[in-house]
Structure 1
């Protein structure tokens, strides 16, 4: 009897595609080791090829897509790779810690075809009404307000800055009262961390419905109100679920983009060397982060309806297939070269589910970073970069703290 090829090895001849083994051969995408250095684990995974067998929580198997071309093909083919997770949800049960991040919701991210087109049009059309100049001004005002709170201290934890700023911007853009916005962020943080995720999901649902009710009573010149007045005529249930999607995209990932960008500027000589000279390479740093250390490291989850033989690999029916944006962007088979100005990374996803707010996300992050460096030009890390800790979870790349020190202006 000949040996069957390992998972991740292309099949030859007419033999069957390989599929993921169960149990200890899977790579765990949870816990401190993965959080500390995910790229080291991706490097080990690449021995399997473009696909690797992983666990995204204890006892929860999945396939991680590591190859750039394979990831792009999956993202562009929602018919073969739908987002519907109902069968998987029944298998894992309601207490699965990653369920709230992956469960099917009736929003633009988890739908296809005409339903997706209708829901996405509401989001895209409403976001297009946001004036970039007004958004830039509001981000700068919010950033200066937050910096004023710690500028006289000579030290700060910039995670607080990076976390609070997107919330203030979201509240302004969406006409959201602060108390509701705080609940939205607390719920979403628990879901991303996969700790207390079930409770976080309930809090998130409660807060989105509160926001919908508030804006029905008090509409204004904001994204929520524009969505409500859209010709697609979303009901309250549909509105709440689209807002859940927008909260998820606009708070946690934005926080991580800002924090990781600041860390890069303060720790990498390719960028930090320009700070003292007055040339702030913020856009270059954002390009680098989005290529090599994106705030959403892995997501874009799909669930094949039946076993699929794809590029020589067997993807089991109803088992999650996650796109590793971080691994695909750094696929060694592709030579990217200079990343400055190169926006071909996958960090905003691809295909019909490409993030509709990527220009807003970059603008918010760049203004947040520029304002901080302009106000505190002698900013420095308070601890070695290697000593910083990262939050657990398979989906995000998120610091727990970012302590800095600086000369009091």
Structure 2
């Protein structure tokens, strides 16, 4: 089909007036954009990605499930994407880190997917859930110790962003690699920024070292179990799957913790129900997974053939974006959006079909256990600003709070040795820290000065010794 005059050659008539999923409107009010697109186009809407690359945003609940459950029509193999085949996705493109095909389960279907996904499932099933909760409680208390004496804190940068990374680096077998830089790089990769490629390389370098170390010195951790799995994964396959688990678990859990804490602090009905015993903390987490899923959207699926979806003509090689947040508020499944949802896990927060998130129970355990530990330590915690003053940073895939300022009665840290280490207030604000550059040479990165998160890990090893 010939594009209209003035329309770039790679944008067909169906996308000539499509809305961008990046830029001011998408970043300031993504939910508003979703509803406008739904009103204009129905359950599937034409949109533009970075570089004005055309794609389809799936807004309907049933349509999202249809896409995830029919890999014969909608594949996870990004090599099918027309811009990739035409060479328009260069290595420095903002979406390259999350769309360039890699030897991991999320980019495959069929037998190869079963082999890789089976290794991940089997290895993650070996985790002791009670052990995870004990470790997360210890990490949460260590983080609370850093700010409990001040009577004020920012729960995004001082709690929600650090707890999942502390937990996941331990589970992967790399607790010594936990750092502020790793937190920044992990989040930056999913924003589609100009520094996403450098952040990706920083994470990859950490994981290369981990795989080499675990090949020589096995342990009771995910890296070792993947290396030892009967499916015979190569070192590169193990590294790429560790990256997948680390980044996905970090982003989803950090955002889930922040969003759940925000709801507990701001929604009167929610907190009253929680305090009155009518809603457990797991119920609260599930409600947030419906209302504010950590991943608002997932890119992607790629059409294997010319097909039709909700009245839209999808061409072979077209990209589809799963609109998880939009699907969760589809009135087809939620006619009353204000009605509480107790114990209902039918949401799209973890996608669906064969590629449904394998680590969702670990994420729930980290979030629920961490929040429970925080509320136990600081029972009178309250928001330190007006709810209307809270601000978000949005990207194509995610939306998260920039800050969550709180106040509470000052308390002494549980760890008496805390005063021997640095305070987090001495560190730069995470929000303004630039993502790390790639290592200057293989196996070498810039030295990091001692800091508060290293003191946390030091105390943990002292106590264990």
**TM-score of the aligned structures, taking structure 1 as reference length:** 0.90
Kindly report which structure 2 residues correspond to 1:226-237, keeping only aligned pairs within 5 A, or say none.
Answer: 226-237=225-236
Secondary structure at the aligned position of 1:114 is classed as helix
The answer as to whether partners of 1:60 and 1:92 remain within 8 angstroms in 2 is no
Change (3 A) 1:289 1:58: farther
Q: Aligned partners of 1:268, 1:351: CA distance in 2, in Å?
A: 33
SS at match of 1:91: coil
Cα distance in 2 for partners of 1:217, 1:204 equals 21
8 Å contact kept, 1:180–1:207: no
Q: Which residue of 2 aligns with 1:273?
A: 272
Deviation of the 1:219 alpha carbon? 1.1
- Please show how residues 2-401 of structure 1 align to structure 2 within 5 Å: 21-23=14-16, 25-47=17-39, 48-86=41-79, 87-89=82-84, 90-160=87-157, 161-179=159-177, 184-195=182-193, 196-274=195-273, 281-335=280-334, 338-401=340-403
What is the distance in 2 between the residues matched to 1:361 and 1:372? 17
SS at match of 1:109: helix
**1:164 to partner: Cα distance:** 0.8
The answer to whether the 8 A contact 2:169-2:177 is kept is: no
- For residues 321-363 of structure 1, give each alpha carbon's deviation from its aligned partner in whole angstroms, at most 9, with x where no partner exists: 0001000111112236541100001111111001111111111
- The TM-score with structure 2 as length reference comes to 0.80
Q: How many residues align?
A: 390
Shift of 1:34: 2.5
Worse-superposed segment, 284-293 or 270-279: 270-279
- Residues 32/159 of structure 1: CA separation in 2 closer, same or farther (3 Å cut): farther
Unaligned runs of 5+ in 2: 1-11, 412-465
Residues in 2 aligned to 1:307 and 1:204: alpha-carbon distance in whole angstroms: 37
Per-residue deviation, residues 71-110 of structure 1 (Å, max 9, x unmatched): 1011011121111222432223233212212222211111
Q: Rate the CA distance shift 1:151–1:274 in 2: closer, same or farther, 3 A.
A: farther
- Look up the match of 2:422: none
Which range moves more in the overlay, 367-376 or 187-196? 187-196
Match of 2:439 in 1: none
Instruction: Give the Å deviation of 1:372.
Output: 0.9
Alignment partner of 1:403 is 2:405: yes
Matched-pair contact (CA < 8 Å) for 1:271–1:281: no
Aligned equivalents of 1:30, 1:183: Cα separation in 2: 25
* Alignment partners' CA distance in 2, 1:180 and 1:317: 42
Q: Which moved more, 1:202-211 or 1:138-147?
A: 202-211
Please tell me whether the aligned partners of residues 183 and 207 of structure 1 are also in contact (alpha carbons under 8 angstroms). Answer: no
Closer, same or farther: CA 56–282 of 1 in aligned 2, 3 Å: farther
Q: Give me the whole-angstrom Cα distance separating, in 1, the residues matched to 2:380 and 2:279.
A: 12
| Deviation (angstroms), 1:20 | 6.6
In the aligned structure 2, how far is the partner of 1:45 from the partner of 1:73? 19
Per-residue CA shift, 1:174-208, capped at 9, x if unaligned? Answer: 11143366655433222112121121222222222
> Could you list the runs of 4 or more consecutive aligned residues of structure 1 that deviate by over 4 angstroms after TM superposition?
180-184, 274-280
Q: 2:60·2:326 contact (CA, 8 Å) conserved in 1?
A: yes
8 Å CA contact 1:142–1:169 kept in 2: the answer is: yes
Change beyond 3 A, Cα 1:300–1:30:
closer
Partner SS, residue 161 of structure 2: helix
Distance 1:406 1:306, change over 3 A: same
Q: Which runs of 5+ in 1 are unaligned?
A: 1-18
- CA–CA distance in structure 2, aligned partners of residues 252 and 312 of structure 1: 34
- Root-mean-square deviation (CA, aligned residues, Å) is 2.0
